[in-house]
Amino acid sequence: MTLRQNLGAPPTLSFPAEPIWQIALFTGVDRILDYAPPEGWDGPAPLNRRVRIPLGKRSVVGWVAGAAAHSTLAPHQLRPCQMVLDTDPLLDPASLALVHWTAHYYHHPLGRVLATALPTLLREGSPAEMPQMPHWGLSAAGRALDRNALRGHRLQALLALFDAHPLGMSAAQLETALPGSRDVLRRACDRGWVHAMPAPVAPLIDPVFGQSPHPLNPDQQAAVDALRAAHGYAPTVLEGVTGSGKTEVYLQAMETVLQAGRQVLILTPEIGLIPQLRQRLQARFSASMALLHSGMTERQRLNGWLAARSGSARIVLGTRSAIFTPLPELGLIVVDEEHDAAYKQDDGLRYSARDLALWRARQHALPIVLGSATPSLESFHRTERGDYRLLRLPLRAGSAQEPRIQLIDMRPHGAPDGLSPALLQAIERELAQGGQAMLFQNRRGYAPMLRCRACGWIAGCPHCDARMTLHREAGKRDLLICHHCGFRRTSPAHCPDCAHPALDFMGMGTVRVEEALRAHFPHARVARIDRDSTRRQGSLERMLDAAIRGEVNLLIGTQMLAKGHHLPHLALVAILDVDQGLYSPDFRASERTGQLVVQVAGRAGRELRAGTTLIQTHRPDHPWLRQLLTEGYPAFARTLLAERQQAHWPPFTRLALLRAQAPELQRAMDFLARLPTLLAPPSELQVLGPVPAPMARRAGAHRAQLLLIAPSPVPLHAYLDRLMPQLGTLPESRQVRWSLDVDPQDLF
Ligand SMILES: [Zn+2]
Ligand SMILES: [Zn+2]
C-alpha cells in the first residue's frame, strides 16, 4: 500500500486479525512500513495505537495506521512488532479525522503530522496516563473552621479554593490556581484542615463563578447575544479595535458554553499573550484549565493534553499546535488575533492553525470566533461575501478614548539617530507628565548594515545573500550576526577590502535606538523588548509587568511589543520607520504593514487618557497609508482586496509553493523544472517558475522555487494529489532538499 492511499479517510473499523500492520513513523521514514504483529498476538490490529518496532538496529515508536491481508514484502522480510503500547486508541475519531485531513490537505506524511499533533513524551513512548496525582480536599475540621479567626491571606485563599472545589483538587489544579501553594498546603494538612482524598472518577465539571462580568456597551452586548445564539458551524469575525473589550465578549460567550458542560479551545498566536489571558480566565471561571505552549516542560504538556482529552480540563488555552488537542466535549473555538502570521508554521508541516480551527469547527458543527482589530484579508473577504458573520466593536470599552494618529514627514530632517525633532518633543512632553511612551523599530541588534566609508564595502554573510547585522553589548567586542543563518564573527576594525579604518553603521536597530533614547533622556527608565533581550525564560513577563505597573517610562521594541498587552499608562506610541513595509515586494506586505499600524496605534491611550500615535515616514503621501489613517481599516482592506483580485492573488486564488535547495542553484532549478514534465498541470493552473528564490542563497544552500496558482482549491489539490507521490520517487528528489507549502504566507 502506498503512502498516498493511507492518507484518505481515517480507518475507523476494526479489522479482523489482518496479519500485516501498517506502521507510520514520527520521524525519519515517511513511507508507511509493513510489520507483523508481536509474537503470540491473536487479536485484531490495534489501529491508532502506538507500537514499539525494530527499525534497523534501533527500537522506535510507531503508529498503527492500518492493517492488511497482504504485503509487498516477502514473509521472511516482515519483522514482528515488539510491543503494543496503548490499550485504547490514542485519539478520538474527531481528532483522528483532523490529523488525516491535515496530512491530506498539506500533502504531508501521516507520521509527521502525528508528530506535530502529539505531545513529545507520547512520541517517545511514555504511557498516555496521568501519573497518580495526590488529591486534596477540606476535612470536617477544615469545613467547621472559623475563617475570620485565621491569619495569613494565602491560607485563606487556599481554604477558599477548596470551598469552591468540594470534590477536592489535584496538585496540578492547585498549582494553576494558586502558584507556589505547596508550603501553605503542608501547613493546612499539618493542622488537619485539609487531607488527602481519592480523586473523583468522573471528570470535574465546575460551576462558573468568580469576578462578576464587566458591564457591556451596546455593541459588546449585541456581539455576546449573537454568539450565544449561534448554533452549529457559525464562523464569526469579531472586529474590535484594541481596548474595545473583545476579551470580555469571549468570556461571556464562553460562560454559556461552560455552563452547558462543554469545553472551550482558545488559541493565541504567541506565548507572550498567554499570561494576561490566563489571569482573566482564572479570575472569571473556576473551570479547570489546561495550558499548551512551548514554555512548559514536556511532562506539563502531556498532562495538559491528557486533561483535555479526558474532559477534565474545560478550558484549553494554547498556541498554534494546541489546535490538535483532543477535546471530546468541544463547544466553542476562539482564535484570538486571527490575522497573525504566527498561526502558520513556517517549516516542516506548514499548517495554519487558524485554517485548521475553521475546518474543525465546520466538521463538528461548532461556533468559532475569529477575533482581531485587523482581520486578515482572507477573513475580511469572507465576511464581505456573507460566508462569515461580522460583528464590530467600533468603540473603546469604558471611557477609553480613540487614539490620534499623525504622520511625521522625515524628508526635511536627516535625523541621524532615527528620531525626528517632532518625535523627541512628543516624548519630552509625555515624560514631563509622568506618562509612558513606546517606540517600534522592527530590527533587532545595533545596526542592520556596516559599510566602508572609502570603498562602499558592505559586511555580507558568507553563507547567505544577506547583510550581517551589527550587535553591540556593553563590555564586549562588536559582533556581526546573520539573522538568516545565525553565522557570527567579530566585527572587523578595518575594511577587509581596502583596509580603510572608517566603517559606518547604517540604519537603526533596537539597541541603537535604546542608546539614542538614553542619551536624549538620561533620567528616563528605558526598557528594550526584542528577541535578544527576552531570551531568558520569564524575562518578557518581568519587563511587561514593570511596564504595566508604570515602572518604565520608555519602551523600545520590535513587533513583539505590538501584540495585545494591556498597558494602562501608555499614551504615546511611535513607529520609527514604516517605509520598510511600503516597499517590500511580497504581496502580503501592505496588509501586514497596515495591520501593524492599527495594532500599534491601539496600544496607545487606554482608560486614563487619549493616546497619540506618531508614524515616521519618507512617504507621507503614500495612497494606502493615507487611506488607512483617514478612512480606517475596513476601507483600507477593501482597497487591498480590489488590488489582489486584479492581480489574481489570494484570497481570490489559491497558492502552493514548491521550494528546493541544493549546493548548486542549477540542481535545484532542474529538479523543479521536472515537475510540469512529470505530470502536465491542468489548464486552469498557472505555473510560475522555477526561479531563484528572492534570497537565492541562505545558510550556504542555493534556493529555487516554483509557484502554482489556481482559481480554487479543487484543481490545485487534485493536481498535487497525483503529483506528490511521483515527486518523491524521482531520483533527483534525493539530491535536493525540497518542500511543499500549501497556502504560503510569504514567497521568500
Ligand atoms: Zn573599504
Ligand atoms: Zn547567513
Model pLDDT for residues 415-437, shown as the tens digit of each residue: 778 899 999 999 999 999 888 99
| Residue closest to 408 by CA, chosen among 619, 594, 554, 593 | 619
- The Cα–Cα gap between 401 and 723 comes to 55
pTM for this entry: 0.85
pLDDT category at 648 given cuts 50, 70, 90 is very high
Distance from Cα 500 to the centre of ligand 2, integer Å: 24
Distance from Cα 503 to the centre of ligand 1, integer Å: 8
Distance from Cα 460 to the centre of ligand 2, integer Å: 8
**Which tens digit of pLDDT belongs to each residue from 567-623?**
888 889 999 999 888 877 788 999 999 998 888 887 776 555 668 899 999 999 999
Tell me how crowded residue 150 is: count the other CB atoms within 10 A of its CB. Answer: 12
Q: What are phi and psi of 631, to 5 degrees?
A: -110, -15
Q: Where are the domains of the chain?
A: 3-123, 135-196, 218-393, 404-447+507-642, 654-742
Distance from Cα 459 to the centre of ligand 1, integer Å: 10
C-alpha cell of 671?
A: 529538479
| Residue closest to 605 by CA, chosen among 597, 616, 613 | 613
- The Cα–Cα gap between 624 and 590 comes to 8
Distance from Cα 462 to the centre of ligand 2, integer Å: 7
Contact present, 313 and 258 (Cβ < 8 Å): no
* Residue 241 reports pLDDT greater than 80: no
The answer to which of 457-461, 515-519, 536-540 has the lowest mean pLDDT is: 536-540
N- to C-terminal Cα separation, the chain? 36
Average pLDDT on 56-62 reads: 95
Tell me how crowded residue 253 is: count the other CB atoms within 10 A of its CB. Answer: 24
Q: Which ligand is nearest to the CA of 486?
A: 2
Distance from Cα 506 to the centre of ligand 1, integer Å: 15
| Residue closest to 642 by CA, chosen among 583, 590, 710, 708 | 590
Distance from Cα 740 to the centre of ligand 2, integer Å: 23
Distance from Cα 158 to the centre of ligand 1, integer Å: 68
CATH fold of the domain at 654-742:
Alpha-Beta Plaits (3.30.70)
Number of helical (H) and strand (E) elements in the chain, helices listed first: 23, 30
Whole-Å CA distances, 32 to 1, 108, 575: 8, 12, 51
Ion ligand 2 residues within 5 Å by Cβ: 461, 463-464, 482, 484-485, 487
Which architecture does CATH list for 404-447+507-642?
3-Layer(aba) Sandwich (3.40)
**Which tens digit of pLDDT belongs to each residue from 120-135?**
999 999 999 877 667 8
Contact present, 565 and 544 (Cβ < 8 Å): yes
Paired with 289 in beta bridges are 315
Distance from Cα 456 to the centre of ligand 2, integer Å: 20
The alpha-carbon radius of gyration of the chain (Å, integer) is: 28
Average pLDDT on 519-526 reads: 94
Average pLDDT on 517-535 reads: 92
* Residue 474 reports pLDDT greater than 50: yes
**Which tens digit of pLDDT belongs to each residue from 688-717?**
989 999 889 999 999 999 999 999 999 999
Distance from Cα 353 to the centre of ligand 2, integer Å: 29
Q: Which ligand is nearest to the CA of 482?
A: 2
Average pLDDT on 19-29 reads: 93
Average pLDDT on 164-184 reads: 83
Distance from Cα 485 to the centre of ligand 2, integer Å: 4
Q: Which ligand is nearest to the CA of 456?
A: 1
Distance from Cα 663 to the centre of ligand 2, integer Å: 15
Q: Which ligand is nearest to the CA of 462?
A: 2
Task: Decide if 404-447+507-642 and 654-742 have a common fold.
Answer: no
C-alpha cell of 182?
A: 505547596
**Which tens digit of pLDDT belongs to each residue from 249-281?**
999 999 999 999 999 999 999 888 888 899 889
Please report the DSSP string for 631-661 in residue order.
H-HHHHHHHHHHHHHHHT-TTSSEEEEEEEE
| Residue closest to 284 by CA, chosen among 213, 221, 336, 369 | 213
Q: Give the whole-number percent of the chain exceeding pLDDT 70.
A: 93
- The Cα–Cα gap between 329 and 316 comes to 12
Q: Which ligand is nearest to the CA of 497?
A: 1
* Residue 372 reports pLDDT greater than 80: yes
Please report the DSSP string for 498-565 in residue order.
T--S-EEEES--HHHHHHHHHHH-TTS-EEEESTTTT-STTHHHHHHHHHHTT--SEEEE-GGGGSS-
Contact present, 679 and 748 (Cβ < 8 Å): no
Contact present, 657 and 706 (Cβ < 8 Å): yes
C-alpha cell of 89?
A: 486508541
- The Cα–Cα gap between 238 and 336 comes to 9
Q: Which ligand is nearest to the CA of 498?
A: 1
Average pLDDT on 560-564 reads: 72
C-alpha cell of 529?
A: 523588548
**Which tens digit of pLDDT belongs to each residue from 191-218?**
889 988 776 654 444 556 666 778 888 9
Distance from Cα 428 to the centre of ligand 2, integer Å: 39
Please report the DSSP string for 699-726 in residue order.
TTEEEEEEEEEESSHHHHHHHHHHHHHH
**Which tens digit of pLDDT belongs to each residue from 279-323?**
889 888 887 899 999 888 898 899 999 999 999 899 999 999 999
- At residue 59, the pLDDT reads 95
pLDDT category at 245 given cuts 50, 70, 90 is confident
- Cell 499546535 locates to 321
CATH fold of the domain at 3-123:
GIY-YIG endonuclease (3.40.1440)
Q: Which ligand is nearest to the CA of 484?
A: 2
Q: Which ligand is nearest to the CA of 466?
A: 2
Length of the chain: 748
Q: Give the whole-number percent of the chain exceeding pLDDT 90.
A: 59
Distance from Cα 748 to the centre of ligand 2, integer Å: 15
- At residue 208, the pLDDT reads 60
* Residue 8 reports pLDDT greater than 60: no
Q: Which ligand is nearest to the CA of 467?
A: 2
Highest averaged pLDDT of the listed ranges 12-16, 177-181, 672-676, 744-748: 672-676
* Residue 84 reports pLDDT greater than 70: yes
Please give the CATH number for the structural domain made up of 218-393: 3.40.50.300
- At residue 207, the pLDDT reads 52
Distance from Cα 446 to the centre of ligand 2, integer Å: 17
